[in-house]
């Protein structure tokens, strides 16, 4: 493991932990990092888990960090191998941004590879961003600085994605109808949320039995009419 970065969404402050920075502080030349790798990595992860311990009650937004190959468990395992005692974040405080986006926009919201496609679709500058293959090549070349810059850029990009989702401005390949399920349930939800339905329900509550029977007998027509009226009223 060469670098880890955490960005606070509240103030955009980024806290980073990298093996080459530890080497610099300890006076280890870049060319000699490999000779002291485990020791430097342990110091890096010491700092990371100390930071996590200070924020263990916070919520962590991440991208596909769900398993022992690539995720929180992988970092915890590596730290344990190096003799550390990791601070374990509760699962209910981990939120996978990639899955949240799928839940909102549907599985086909963007083409693969999704990160790169979202970057292009939303006109985000990739700058130092590296793909998985590029990062693997950078590690083989011992380009620790480049890997750290890629990590920093990724947390910045993910923060951009999260903000765009929150503001409902994320550009995807999902149409409005598809995103909302394309079902009558969508129309029903529009009706339930409209003030017109509340008004009519009040009238039914104090109206004649005949009016109530008519309402119950023609639910599909009522849903269609109310949805149409809701749409028209928003345009006026």
Note the pLDDT tens digit of each residue in 85-119: 999 999 999 999 999 999 999 999 999 999 999 99
Place of tokens 């395992």: 77
Report pLDDT for 215: 41
The answer, yes or no, to whether residue 166 has pLDDT greater than 60, is yes
Dig out the tokens for 197 from the structure.
Answer: 């339905």
The length of the chain is: 236
DSSP string for residues in 8-56: -TTT--EEEEEHHHHHHHTT--GGGGGGGHHHHHHHHHHHHHHHHHHTT
pTM of the model: 0.75
pLDDT band at 187 (very low <50, low <70, confident <90, very high): low
pLDDT band at 190 (very low <50, low <70, confident <90, very high): low
Note the pLDDT tens digit of each residue in 122-156: 999 999 999 999 999 999 999 999 999 999 999 99
The vertex-51 CA angle with 27 and 153, nearest 5°, equals: 75
> 26 vs 29, 30, 36, 40, CA distance in Å?
9, 11, 11, 9
How far apart are alpha carbons 232 and 215 in whole angstroms? 21
Note the pLDDT tens digit of each residue in 29-76: 999 999 999 999 999 999 999 999 999 899 999 999 998 888 999 999
Dig out the tokens for 21 from the structure.
Answer: 């920075």
Percent of the chain past pLDDT 70, that is, above it, reads 76
């Amino acid at each position: 493991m060469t670098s880890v970065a955490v960005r606070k969404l509240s103030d955009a402050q980024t806290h980073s932990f990298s093996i080459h920075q530890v080497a610099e502080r300890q006076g280890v030349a870049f060319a000699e990092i490999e000779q002291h790798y485990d020791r430097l990595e342990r110091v890096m992860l010491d700092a990371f888990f100390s930071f996590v311990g200070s924020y263990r009650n916070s919520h962590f937004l991440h991208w596909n960090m769900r398993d022992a190959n690539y995720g929180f468990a992988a970092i915890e395992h590596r730290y344990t191998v190096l003799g550390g005692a990791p601070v374990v974040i509760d699962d209910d405080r981990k939120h996978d941004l990639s899955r949240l986006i799928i839940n909102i926009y549907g599985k086909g919201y963007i083409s693969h590879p999704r990160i790169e496609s979202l970057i292009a679709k939303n006109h985000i500058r990739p700058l130092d961003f590296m793909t998985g293959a590029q990062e693997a090549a950078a590690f083989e070349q011992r380009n620790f600085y480049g890997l750290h810059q890629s990590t920093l850029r990724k947390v910045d990009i993910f923060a951009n994605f999260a903000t765009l989702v929150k503001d409902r401005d994320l550009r995807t390949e999902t149409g409005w109808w598809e995103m909302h399920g394309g079902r009558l349930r969508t129309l029903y939800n529009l009706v339930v949320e409209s003030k017109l339905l509340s008004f009519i329900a009040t009238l039914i509550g104090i109206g004649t039995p005949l009016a109530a029977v008519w309402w119950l007998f023609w639910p599909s027509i009522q849903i269609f009419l109310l949805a149409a009226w809701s749409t028209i009223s928003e345009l006026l």
